[in-house]
């Protein structure tokens, strides 16, 4: 086989990723979907309607010229609702995984770098969260009345409040996986010579952690965050489906399925569309994460060749 020499590790990584068909297909599919969702407002403008508009004369309508995918039990445009719901579901997936990823990275770095008591406290905490039955606890967390915690009712009544609430709750329970991975990588990086050099230079722990250790543990962070997005979208959809996540009239792919179970005899398409989109999005993120993982693992071998 022809030898390939890469200038930097980064370009080697990108070549590897773009040589993996799964990664390319996943990335193109996700880009296309995000593009379509971002173009949603233009479609809304062209249709001169929004996803909450009720049309009681056209309930359960099949696909027509006006309603490309038909309407739901209130005569709302299914296509518009899928576009808006996708915006909500994808934003939650991306934002919550970034927040959870950041919390996990900071705690994992701290845990792995300092070791000792700090390490055992953080890791015991992470293990406990991972081992608990998460869904029932998330249900309790979403069901609590925030006005009893002193948050003004005006904020709670705002339409996007439930979205923020879900993002925060999911981030709070999503960090342990990433923290454990970052900790494990930090433990190996910590023993490297360049850390000794940095210590000898008299750099403080924060500088060493973020400038010297962090760049060397990015691969597990990226892989775990990508895999996390899919999981978070699943969690959001389950909570919204159970009526505890995103509150109507704001649509999310999960809460669009809430009524679908009772209407399954009347109109199966209401159950099929949102579910298919959740499934395709989650499986694509999982394929992407998996191919990134493979690409990262073989990176060093490729450079030596």
Tell me which residues touch other proteins (CB under 8 A).
128, 130-137, 139-141, 143-145, 148-149, 230, 234, 237-238, 241-243, 254, 257, 260-261, 264-265, 268, 271-272, 275, 278-279, 282-283, 286-287, 290
Residue 141 or residue 221: which is nearer to other proteins going by CB?
141
Structure tokens at 43: 């479609």
Q: Write the CA distances from 242 to 151, 245, 257, integer angstroms.
A: 24, 8, 9
Q: Find the shortest distance in angstroms from Cβ 121 to other proteins.
A: 13
Q: Find the shortest distance in angstroms from Cβ 238 to other proteins.
A: 6
Contact present, 130 and 198 (Cβ < 8 Å): no
Q: Write the CA distances from 231 to 90, 115, 226, 237, integer angstroms.
A: 12, 29, 9, 10
Q: What is the DSSP string of 168-179?
A: HHHHHHHHHHHH
Structure tokens at 4: 């390939």
Residue 56 or residue 140: which is nearer to other proteins going by CB?
140
**DSSP β-bridge partners for residue 77:** 71
Place of tokens 């010229």: 65
Q: Find the shortest distance in angstroms from Cβ 281 to other proteins.
A: 9
Residue 156 or residue 199: which is nearer to other proteins going by CB?
156
Q: Find the shortest distance in angstroms from Cβ 234 to other proteins.
A: 6
Residue 187 or residue 238: which is nearer to other proteins going by CB?
238
Q: Find the shortest distance in angstroms from Cβ 45 to other proteins.
A: 31
- Find the angle CA(185)-CA(235)-CA(244) to the nearest 5 degrees: 140
Residue 12 or residue 141: which is nearer to other proteins going by CB?
141
Q: Find the shortest distance in angstroms from Cβ 141 to other proteins.
A: 7
Contact present, 293 and 26 (Cβ < 8 Å): no
Rounded to 5 degrees, what are φ and ψ at 251? -90, 145
Among 251, 252, 83, 236, which residue's Cα sits nearest to residue 168? Answer: 236
Place of tokens 């996990």: 104
3-state secondary structure of 52: coil
Residue 38 or residue 272: which is nearer to other proteins going by CB?
272
Q: Find the shortest distance in angstroms from Cβ 97 to other proteins.
A: 15
Q: Whole-angstrom Cα distance, residue 21 to residue 62?
A: 36
Residue 109 or residue 171: which is nearer to other proteins going by CB?
171
Local structure of residue 99 (DSSP, 8 states): H
């Amino acid at each position: 086989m022809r030898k390939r020499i890469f200038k930097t590790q980064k370009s080697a990584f990108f070549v590897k990723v773009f040589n993996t068909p799964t990664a390319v297909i996943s990335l193109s599919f996700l880009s296309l979907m995000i593009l379509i969702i971002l173009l949603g407002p233009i479609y809304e403008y062209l249709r001169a309607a929004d996803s909450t508009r009720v049309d009681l004369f056209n309930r359960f309508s099949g696909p027509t010229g006006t309603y490309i995918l038909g309407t739901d039990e209130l005569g709302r445009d299914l296509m518009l609702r899928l576009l808006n719901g996708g915006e909500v579901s994808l934003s939650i997936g991306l934002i919550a995984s970034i927040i959870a990823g950041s919390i996990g990275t900071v705690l994992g770095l701290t845990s792995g770098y300092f070791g000792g008591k700090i390490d055992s406290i953080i890791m015991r905490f992470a293990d406990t969260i991972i081992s608990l039955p998460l869904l029932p606890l998330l249900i309790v967390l979403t069901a609590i009345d925030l006005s009893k915690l002193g948050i003004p009712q005006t904020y709670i009544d705002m339409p996007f409040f439930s979205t923020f609430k879900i993002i925060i709750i999911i981030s709070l329970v999503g960090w342990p996986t990433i923290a454990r991975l970052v900790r494990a990588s930090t433990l190996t990086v910590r023993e490297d010579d360049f850390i000794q050099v940095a210590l000898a230079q008299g750099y403080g722990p924060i500088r060493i952690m973020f400038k010297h250790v962090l760049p060397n543990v990015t691969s597990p962070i990226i892989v775990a965050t990508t895999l996390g997005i899919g999981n978070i979208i699943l969690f959001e959809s389950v909570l919204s489906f159970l009526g505890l996540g995103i509150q109507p009239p704001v649509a999310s792919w999960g809460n669009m399925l809430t009524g679908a179970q009772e209407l399954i005899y009347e109109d199966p398409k209401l159950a099929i569309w949102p579910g298919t989109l959740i499934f395709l999005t989650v499986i694509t993120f999982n394929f992407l994460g998996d191919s990134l993982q493979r690409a990262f693992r073989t990176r060093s071998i490729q450079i030596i060749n």
